[in-house]
């Protein structure tokens, strides 16, 4: 199957199996950060969309620990950047139907939490096909080290993600089954 076929299949499965009860174990993320000896406190998150795992509880916990939170905004020419956000701040819906921060204060995350449509054991991922995260990571990694942690349900794991030269592998992937 090609990426488009995999995406279509997994999105259908995700919609059918979606549950708000599935939560990410926050301690797993902290364990990863300790393992990587990361003491930076600048997190880039995302707003769950289209039956993705809701990471807002995770972002709220980070904010309680005095981390700086930022969320993505889609700009002209299909570029994505991250902007300061707090759980007290409003969000606006973009043209894709995804909530975005209203802030104009650009941030460059040290830790980037990434949504996933499908993934494999080699930490490759398929997103929605726009290449936003791949292009953003390509850009930011030229001037800073970023830890990438993807979030997905265990049923989104496939045998092998077809990859090309533009795809950026993640550092970690966490699902609701704690791995």
Distance between CA atoms of residues 167 and 176, nearest Å? 24
Which domains can be identified in the chain, with CATH numbers?
Answer: 3-174 (3.40.50.10420)
Share of the chain above pLDDT 70, in %: 98
Contacts of 142 (CB under 8 A, 6+ apart): none
Instruction: Chunk the chain into consecutive blocks of 10 residues (it has 179) and report each block's average pLDDT, rounded to whole numbers.
Output: 94 89 84 90 94 93 96 91 96 92 95 97 94 94 95 95 93 84
Residue 163, Cβ neighbours under 10 Å: how many? 15
Crossing angle, helix 56-64 and helix 26-35, to 10 degrees? 60
Q: How far lies 19's CA from each of 43, 52, 125, 153, 156, in Å?
A: 25, 10, 21, 10, 14
- At 96 the pLDDT is 87
pLDDT per residue over 42-74, tens digit each?
999 999 989 999 999 999 999 999 999 999 999
- At 78 the pLDDT is 82
């Amino acid at each position: 199957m090609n990426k488009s076929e995999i995406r279509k299949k997994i999105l259908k499965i995700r919609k059918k199996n979606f549950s708000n009860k599935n939560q990410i174990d926050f301690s797993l993320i902290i364990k990863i950060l300790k393992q990587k000896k990361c003491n930076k406190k600048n997190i880039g998150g995302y707003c769950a969309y289209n039956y993705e795992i809701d990471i807002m509880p995770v972002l709220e916990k980070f904010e309680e620990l005095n981390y700086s939170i930022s969320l993505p905004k889609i700009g002209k020419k299909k570029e994505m950047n991250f902007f300061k956000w707090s759980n007290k701040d409003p969000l606006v819906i973009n043209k894709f139907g995804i909530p975005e921060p209203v802030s104009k204060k650009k941030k460059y995350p040290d830790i980037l939490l990434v949504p996933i449509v499908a993934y494999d054991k080699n930490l490759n991922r398929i997103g929605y096909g726009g290449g936003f995260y791949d292009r953003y990571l390509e850009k930011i990694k030229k001037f800073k080290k970023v830890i990438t942690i993807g979030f997905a349900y265990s049923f989104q794991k496939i045998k092998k993600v077809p990859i090309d030269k533009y795809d950026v592998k993640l550092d970690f992937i966490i699902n609701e089954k704690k791995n």
